[in-house]
Structure 1
Amino acid sequence: MSTLSAAGPRPVVAEPAPWSFPQPDRFVLSNGLAVQAFDMPGQHVLSLQLGIPAPLAGEPLEVEGVGLIMARCLDLGTARHTADELAELLARKGIALHAGVGERGVIVEVDTISRNVSEALDLMVECLTEATFPEAEVRREVRHRLADIGQDKADPASLASLEFIATYFDPKDRASRPGGGSHESVSQITAEHARAYHAATVHPDGAVLAVAGDLTGIALQEELERALAAWSSVPSHQPATGSQGTRAADAGRIVFVDRPGSVQTELHLGGPGPDRGDPLGWGPYQVLSFAIGGSPHARIDRVLREERGYTYGIRAGFRHRSHGGLFTALGSVRGEVTVEALEALLDILDLRGSDLTDAELAHAAGYQARTAPGRFATCEAVAGEAVSLALDGLDTDFVSRTVAQIRTLDPDVARQAWDRHRGTDWTVVLVGDAEHAAGVRALGRGVVDIVSAMRAE
């Protein structure tokens, strides 16, 4: 048996070098569509991501979820091709097309090899402008969405998230209801609703297209002008305004969703947080998220997982929205320690900025700064971030400024940022066996309401 030589000294990890988000070429097409083109040599599978401002708050109340159904049906039949024919055309050219919705609007994603970019653009525009929303396809997508809703209600983590938004946000605010609609609203959606929503929202006005990848030899602006000429703007079109994310007057309470016999308790806690326009910048909040709940070595897991063994892991951090934001913590704990785990978590979150050490803030900042280039190493990540920022009214320089702020972060700014949004009036949702509710109530952390899982579903 050979003997291993003694290990030498550990290598020194260098400080992160300055880094900037890729800078695009920008131009506006004749139909008004804003384009950001990122040339990323060597990445021959291009990512084209189109963001169309159509906030969920603009959906008709009685058919909420119609945006998602409309997006899912864009490639399921056009004036020229059936769903099967479109699928065959996309597969033959190695083109992936997907559409979905988010808080801010409709996102259409296309991946294609560079030599097939013309065909990819033609098929994308065909789906945008000539989608017919066949009755059978819409009914099928409605059934799929209803099945998804049933699955969400059966999964404790999804159920906790649904109960959280219903508790946290004002019932009049769109944010209080599922982004993909409820069982009641989705059940009402027809092909005619999908067509009407498409006609009302899918326009180039205010939209942005990000194209990222190796653009060598591609006359991109000419290709886009040719392909997108058929997608015309509507001068009178005014995109709906987004949800304000108004918090409910009675949000500061604990809701226990009773699932008798559960051996785990799912926990979802939250309070107000900043958006990306916060005066202190977004950098401190990314650092705080990592230091408090973003890794197994963060404050929460160091106590609840490593020291006490209550959980496999709880993740916490700041989440921006188009208006305002949230601080959330979520994960599951062993059922028999529900009370102790919640008490420990709330005690950790009671910390003040002055309790955060220079060492933990420096570690969190170093990790965030060092990993930023890796997070944006692919064309898909670059295009997706560019569209997300544009729909929020932000430029790609925002990412560079944020990383620079993190790399040179003053710990006192991070402490100030924590105190600025430190939660004291938490919204807490627990999904598990309500036999633990009496112990939770005894913590004195707020009103505790018990609801049945059947009612929540």
Structure 2
Amino acid sequence: MTNAAGRRESPPHARLAIVSMTAVLAGGACPGLLAAPDGKEAPVSQVERKHLAPVSKEVLRVRLPRPVEDRLPNGLRILVLEDHRFPTVQVQLQVGGAGPIHEPADRTGLADLTARMMTESAGGRSSEELARAIASLGAGIEVSAPFGSTDLQLTASGLSDNFDAWFGLVRDILLHPDFPEDEFAKLKKRSAAQLQQQRAQPTFLAHEQIHRSLYGTHPASRVSITEASLASLTTDHLRSWHRDRIVPQRTLLGIAGDLRASELVAKLAQTFGGWTAAGGPEPAAPRPDAVDGPRVTLVDRPASVQSRLVFGGLSVDRRDPDYIPLTVMNRILGGSAAARLFLNLRENKGYTYGVYSRFSALKYPGPWLAQGDVRTEVTAAAVKGFLVEFRRMREEPVPGDELEEAQRSIVASFALSLEKPDQLLGYALVRAIYGLPESYWDDYPASILAVTAADVQRVAKRYLDPARLRVVAVGDAAVTRPALEPLGPVETLDVLGRPIPP
């Protein structure tokens, strides 16, 4: 249907039915700094919470639009969400089994380099010609295969008026990358420089060592290409990986925007009907071994003025029922600037500019991490501060007002995200990828608000277990090592990951 301005509107069944959103938003998260009446900013820790806002106790009720789903004869799965509010289209595509988790151990970086080369030249267009064609259409196309991922991901966006033109480039990039030798040589040169640069970055060094500590020989322990692998990989390796892994049977294509689903599905059948690459079922992601005990790793950066601290463990895969209570627990512990770690280590102590926690839930158990940069001279006190907050989460039930504030903050963020077409499409893809119930996202607010203090304490005891805690610090070993020794034996490494004798 069209409105008075001649724009097409979403049909009634595709509109969100949201009730009590403003009441939920009233209980949202506070930013790190709040404006005082005199215009100056006041720290969160100094804000007096009078709890006088008219917050409703009603649960946000929402029904997300259901995508039109289809599967082509070649196995390609399609999800289409009509959204006629804006003259744009969003594309998200996942190819299962084509990510770094599935690449051979002696070819680290193969999936990443394949993905990066796919946008360098495709369909007979050079790198420069392809970039100009995308820019001239006002579109954006990216391909990635992040370390730790089981999938290759393609994202694209553009105007609905010229969708056919820019989606034709998407098709060429996906199906017909050229992998030219000269562009691959340039990419390898850039990657070699990046390998050198990242050794000077404490964030990378900590990221590398915490994943090695948590995952051992599991592919998730690898977070970057190696010099040896970079030197040995060839365009023939990339072509073989693309041929064997980029297959329709493992591909999920999601499209959202100002298009008619019935017309688009027919068009996609024509566009991809000739894609006949054969591939069996998506390979299962390998399960990591359980973390068998505590471990402390120190990467020495002499004279460093800061210490990078990371505490970690394994969490869950995305289908685990603990995902919901973990989401609430994480928000309370370190998921925002109103969380315990931030309020303690930054607002109260002034050790750091920011400290947070997060967890990843993938097709295999991802990591949970709590991390931040602190001044070198307060490293010991900061370590104690982290451990205090972990212990509080495990041993003390969360007060009711703190629990409710965290829950309503999560629900408020979810409610705001529903205004974004790409986020709605992302929710649909998550449900499809992990086989979640059709009503999963409709029920999400109620599921979050149903989490109890006992649930939070239960998952804290399970996943913040000091008997399996892994700790990584990057900093001046002369100062940092004594701060870590109370946690257990400390393995000290240089920035290249080589052991330094005691």
What is the TM-score of this pair, normalised by structure 1?
A: 0.90
The 8 Å contact of residues 32 and 204 in structure 1, kept in 2 or not, is answered as yes
Q: Which digits, 9 at most, give the CA deviation of each residue in 1:310-348, with x for residues without a partner?
A: 111111133213212332101101110101100121121
Gaps of 5+ in 1: none
The 8 Å contact of residues 169 and 246 in structure 1, kept in 2 or not, is answered as yes
Task: Give runs of aligned pairs for residues 181-192 of structure 1, distance below 5 A.
Answer: 181-192=225-236
User: Hey, what does 1:106 align to over in structure 2?
Assistant: 152
Gaps of 5+ in 2: 1-37, 39-50
Of 148, 153, 169, which residue of structure 1 is paired with 2:194? Answer: 148
Cα distance in 2, alignment partners of residues 227 and 276 from structure 1:
32
Q: Aligned in 2, Cα 1:79/1:294: closer, same or farther, shift over 3 Å?
A: closer
- In the TM superposition, residue 438 of structure 1 has moved relative to its aligned partner by 4.4
Q: Aligned in 2, Cα 1:119/1:346: closer, same or farther, shift over 3 Å?
A: same
User: Hey, what does 2:444 align to over in structure 1?
Assistant: 402
| 1:453 match: secondary structure | coil
Question: RMSD of the TM alignment (CA)?
Answer: 2.4
- In the TM superposition, residue 87 of structure 1 has moved relative to its aligned partner by 1.9
User: Hey, what does 2:325 align to over in structure 1?
Assistant: 284
Q: Aligned in 2, Cα 1:381/1:140: closer, same or farther, shift over 3 Å?
A: farther
Cα distance in 1, alignment partners of residues 261 and 340 from structure 2:
50
Supply the AA of the counterpart residue of 2:117.
C
Q: Aligned in 2, Cα 1:342/1:173: closer, same or farther, shift over 3 Å?
A: same
Task: Give runs of aligned pairs for residues 227-238 of structure 1, distance below 5 A.
Answer: 227-234=271-278, 236-238=279-281
- In the TM superposition, residue 142 of structure 1 has moved relative to its aligned partner by 2.0
User: Hey, what does 1:37 align to over in structure 2?
Assistant: 80
Task: Give runs of aligned pairs for residues 18-417 of structure 1, distance below 5 A.
Answer: 18-53=61-96, 54-102=98-146, 103-170=149-216, 172-178=217-223, 180-216=224-260, 219-234=263-278, 236-247=279-290, 249=292, 252-280=294-322, 282-351=323-392, 352=394, 354-394=396-436, 397-417=439-459
Supply the AA of the counterpart residue of 1:283.
I
Identity %: 25
Of 432, 449, 452, which residue of structure 1 is paired with 2:475? Answer: 432
Cα distance in 1, alignment partners of residues 321 and 174 from structure 2:
38
| 2:206 match: secondary structure | helix
Q: Which digits, 9 at most, give the CA deviation of each residue in 1:241-260, with x for residues without a partner?
A: 323233565x6211111101
Q: Which digits, 9 at most, give the CA deviation of each residue in 1:283-329, with x for residues without a partner?
A: 21111111110122211122111111111111113321321233210
- In the TM superposition, residue 169 of structure 1 has moved relative to its aligned partner by 1.2
Supply the AA of the counterpart residue of 1:258.
D
Q: Aligned in 2, Cα 1:130/1:100: closer, same or farther, shift over 3 Å?
A: same
Matched, 1:447 2:489: yes
Tell which has more relative contact order, 1 or 2 (C-alpha 8 A, sep 6+). Answer: 1
The 8 Å contact of residues 63 and 189 in structure 1, kept in 2 or not, is answered as yes
- In the TM superposition, residue 208 of structure 1 has moved relative to its aligned partner by 0.5
Supply the AA of the counterpart residue of 1:288.
M
Cα distance in 1, alignment partners of residues 65 and 262 from structure 2:
19
Cα distance in 2, alignment partners of residues 335 and 78 from structure 1:
49
- In the TM superposition, residue 11 of structure 1 has moved relative to its aligned partner by 4.5
| 1:319 match: secondary structure | strand
Q: Which digits, 9 at most, give the CA deviation of each residue in 1:356-387, with x for residues without a partner?
A: 21121111001001110222422222333433
| 1:355 match: secondary structure | coil
How many positions carry a matched residue from both structures?
445
User: Hey, what does 2:23 align to over in structure 1?
Assistant: none
User: Hey, what does 2:45 align to over in structure 1?
Assistant: none
Cα distance in 1, alignment partners of residues 208 and 475 from structure 2:
15
Q: Which moved more, 1:333-342 or 1:69-78?
A: 69-78
What is the TM-score of this pair, normalised by structure 2?
A: 0.83
Cα distance in 1, alignment partners of residues 251 and 123 from structure 2:
24
- In the TM superposition, residue 211 of structure 1 has moved relative to its aligned partner by 0.6
Q: Which moved more, 1:39-48 or 1:252-261?
A: 39-48
